[in-house]
Amino acid sequence: MVFSSLTFLFAYLPLTLLVYFLAPLRWRNGVLLVVSLLFYGWGEPVYITIMILSTLIDYTHGILVERYREDDRKARWFVGQSVVFNLLLLGFFKYWDFLAAQLDALLGLSLPVLGIPLPIGISFFTFQTMSYTIDVYRRDASVQRDLISFGAFVTMFPQLIAGPIVQYRSVAKELAHREHSAIGFALGARRFTVGLCKKVLLANAIGTLWEECLAAQGSGDLTTLGAWMGLFAYGFQIYFDFSGYSDMAIGLGHMFGFRFPENFDYPYCAASVTEFWRRWHMSLTSWFREYLYIPLGGNRGGTAKTLRNILIVWACTGLWHGASWNFILWGLYFAAWLILEKYVLRGVLARTPGWIKHTYTLLVVFVGWGLFAMEDLSVCGQYLAVCFGQGALWDAGDFFWLRSYALTFLALIIGATALMRRSWQRLPERAEQVLTPILMLAGSVICTAYLVDGSYNPFLYFRF
């Protein structure tokens, strides 16, 4: 079940809110746990057992780390057990088939390819629970002894499927006591509606162009202009798809009294690749920085170790997104650009006009999206070759696409900047009060009409 489905919007969410707010305060974590398990099990009931097992393992290991805190060796042992369990869980379901295929190709080992469906959201909730025991060991978080509250944290449906990755310490106080107010609920509903509009009206609209460009690639009709339009279409689709989902998750968190971390900060306004990754999927980049890059030594210990650490982190970042060589190459591609900016281009970029820096950043990022989008490396290589001049430069079909999607691209470009937010903030308070419910209602009605009428409603991050 996705947030942009009619089932969620008109059945699951209203019923969940009704049950949640009718329940006494002391029962609400329990209600949240039950409805979240129902949400998770909607499509894959069998995987509820994995979710429950993961919750129990990390709950007990948090207590064990706290109990043996004075014996550092034992405490480290239990932290290690928690980390190994989560990595094995993630590795088996997400990477076993990939590993088996590679070992068979390299060494002739006939390991079985199981073809097990990937549990939804496993990359997100394993990282959350793993960071909990680490934080308890570091004394960055207090141990949670209430199993229901801990279970509510792990399974919390707003951020369960695709983040943002919420660290336990950031919501620990709200699990114990959180305030519910009409203002907070209204802010959450507004944020949710904005995210829904981004997903349904922008991401879905431009995603069809990416599909057309892939079809043209398959038929051998793709041109350089068409290929670049396709890359920009996919780049905008994944941004509005994922940032829209994050907005919906953060909005739902507000409705239930939680404050989730921001996940995007207008990344396409960045003036360098380094800045882009400070603005894109911020909860993931901060997780890798805190739990992998810094423990590896970060930028301490000299240039060679820093380069090693960057390469490790970005290879893992790529692999986190999927069990395929294109994701690993995508991670290493960005590692190379980050290293270049850190050691070679820093001075050059400091002297470069802003518009050139923005253009350079967008070109690097959108070429990267080509690596990200196409798992078949031969298809990816052919596509990118067309981008850089192999074949015809343009044809009549490209100009048809340009005319058809011109207004959509304009809306995407405006939506990817802070222009709308700044304009909204300049409105008088009374105008904002009047316009907010009108725009929310209009956006909800239009999105509903689109969902009723259309069949194209993918969610790209479901596969991660």
For the stretch 181-211, pLDDT in tens is: 999 999 999 999 999 999 999 999 999 999 8
Our separate counts of H helices and E strands in the chain read: 23, 0
CA distances from residue 274 to 360, 361, 366, 458 in whole angstroms, order as listed: 12, 9, 15, 29
Q: How many angstroms separate the CA atoms of 325 and 338, rounded? A: 20
Residue 460 has pLDDT above 90, yes or no: no
pLDDT in tens, 336-371: 999 999 999 888 988 999 999 999 999 999 999 999
Give the pLDDT mean for 120-129. Answer: 89
Please, which pLDDT band fits residue 119 given cuts at 50, 70 and 90? confident
User: What pLDDT sits at residue 353?
Assistant: 94
Query: For 69-99, how does the pLDDT look when each residue is reduced to its tens digit (9 = 90+)?
Result: 888 899 999 999 999 999 999 999 999 989 9
Report the sign of the C-alpha dihedral through residues 274, 277, 283, 288, in that order.
Answer: negative
> Does 267 sit behind a cis peptide bond, omega within 30 degrees of 0 on the bond before it?
no
Rounded CA gap, 411 and 408, in Å? Answer: 5
d(CA 54, CA 84): 12
Contact 458, 207 (CB under 8 A): yes
- Predicted TM-score (pTM) of the model is 0.93
Active site residues: 321
Interval 245-295: pLDDT, tens: 999 999 999 999 999 999 999 999 999 999 999 999 999 999 999 999 999
User: Is residue 302 left, alpha or beta, with left meaning phi > 0 and alpha meaning psi from -120 to 50?
Assistant: left
The pLDDT assigned to 41 comes to 86
User: Is residue 215 very low, low, confident or very high in pLDDT (cuts 50, 70, 90)?
Assistant: confident
The amino acid at residue 160 is L
Reported as a pLDDT band with limits 50, 70 and 90, residue 391 is confident
CB 279 within 8 A of CB 246: no
Cα–Cα distance measured from residue 160 to residue 248, given in angstroms and rounded to the nearest whole number: 12
What per-residue confidence (pLDDT) applies to 455?
65
Distance, in Å, from the CA atom of 383 to the CA atom of 213, rounded to the nearest integer, reads 10
Rounded Cα distance, 217 and 28, in Å: 52
| Mean pLDDT computed over 367-378 | 94
* Confidence check: pLDDT of 462 > 70: no
Instruction: For residue 269, give every residue at least 6 positions away whose Cβ sits within 8 Å of its Cβ, in sequence order, or none.
Output: 279, 358, 416, 417, 418
Write the CB contacts of 61 (distance below 8 Å, at least 6 apart in sequence): 78, 79, 81, 82, 85, 133
Backbone angles phi, psi at 5, to 5 degrees: -105, 150
Rg over CA atoms, the chain: 23
| Helices 396-415 and 204-219, axial angle in degrees (round to 10) | 150
212 neighbors 229 (Cβ within 8 angstroms): no
Contact 66, 132 (CB under 8 A): no
Residues 6+ apart with CB under 8 A from 427: 435
How confident is the model at residue 463, as a pLDDT? 58
| Residue located via tokens 């960055």 | 140
Spatial separation of the C-alpha atoms in residues 461 and 464, rounded to whole Å: 5
Q: Cβ(259)–Cβ(156) under 8 Å?
A: no
pLDDT band at 461 (very low <50, low <70, confident <90, very high): low
Is residue 405's pLDDT more than 80? Answer: yes
- Residues 376-395 as b/e (b if ≥16 CB within 10 A, e otherwise) read eeeebebbbebbeeebeeee
Full DSSP string of 147-175: HHHHHHHHH-HHHHTT-----HHHHHHHH
Mean pLDDT estimate for the chain: 91
Residue pLDDT, tens place only, 30-68: 999 999 999 988 877 888 888 899 999 999 999 999 999
Spatial contact of 240 and 199, defined as CB atoms under 8 Å apart: yes
Total residue count of the chain as it appears in this document: 464
Position 111 scores a pLDDT of: 83
